[in-house]
Homo-oligomer: A and B are copies of this chain.
Amino acid sequence: MKVPSSLTLLTEALRHLPGVGPKSAQRMAYHLLQHDRDGAALLGRALTQAVDQIHHCALCNTFTENEICETCLDPERDPSLLCVVETPTDQLMIEQTLTFKGLYFVLMGRLSPLDGIGPKDIQLEKLVSRATDGVVKEVVLATNFTNEGEATAHYISETMKARGLQVSRLARGVPVGGELEYVDAGTIARAMLDRRAT
C-alpha cells in the first residue's frame, strides 16, 4: 500500500507550521483534501503570494509589500520619537490608543537566550542605525512586560543610552507579566502617557 506522493509531500510541508506535529499534519491534510479543497487551493496561493510579496520595511522592519511601509512614509508623524515593539500586532495595539504620533521599529521578536535568540536575530544593528539617524531624539521601549521583553528593553536601553539617545519605557500601567496583545486599550494609553525615562 502506497501513500500518494503529493499527499506525503503535503503532510510533510504542513509540519513547517509552528506547533504542528506529524499527527495533526496528517489530520490537516486529510481535512483539506476531503472537506475543503477550495480552502486548500486558496491557502496554497496565499502562501506563494505572501512569500513573493512580503518584505521587511527598510526603515522600521515591519512586514510590507513596499520598500518603505506606509507608516514610515506618513509625513504627519513626529520623526523624533521612535517606539520599539516586538511585533506588528503590538504596534497595532499602540496605534489604536491614539497616544503616540511618532514612528516605530518592529523587532519581529525579542531577546531569548534560552531559545538561542540573540541581538542579531532581532535586528538590533538595523535598530541602532535607524535610531542614530540624527533625527530621532527619544526611543520609547514598548516591548512586552514579560521577562524576555524586559530583558530586551534593558539591552536596547543600554545600547541607545551609550549613543546619547533619550530612552523611555511604557509605564507600569501594563500588568507585570502581561502581553500587550491581551491588554485593553485604556491601560495601554495610560502606560504610554506615563512613560518614564530609564
Question: With a CB–CB cut-off of 8 A, which chain B residues contact A17?
Answer: 17, 28, 31-32, 43
Tell me, rounded to whole Å, the shortest Cβ–Cβ distance linking A10 to chain B. Answer: 4
- A-to-B contact residues, CB < 8 Å: 1-7, 9-10, 12-14, 16-19, 24, 26-34, 36-37, 39-54, 63-65, 70-71, 87-89, 91-92, 95, 108-109
Kindly report how many copies of this chain are found in the complex they form together: 2
* Chain A contact surface mostly: helix
Tell me, rounded to whole Å, the shortest Cβ–Cβ distance linking A190 to chain B. Answer: 21
Bound complex: CA of A3 vs CA of B69, how far in Å? 10
On whether the beta carbons of B27 and A14 are closer than 8 Å, the reply is no
- CB closest residue in chain B, given A44: B47
Question: With a CB–CB cut-off of 8 A, which chain B residues contact A40?
Answer: 16, 47, 50-51
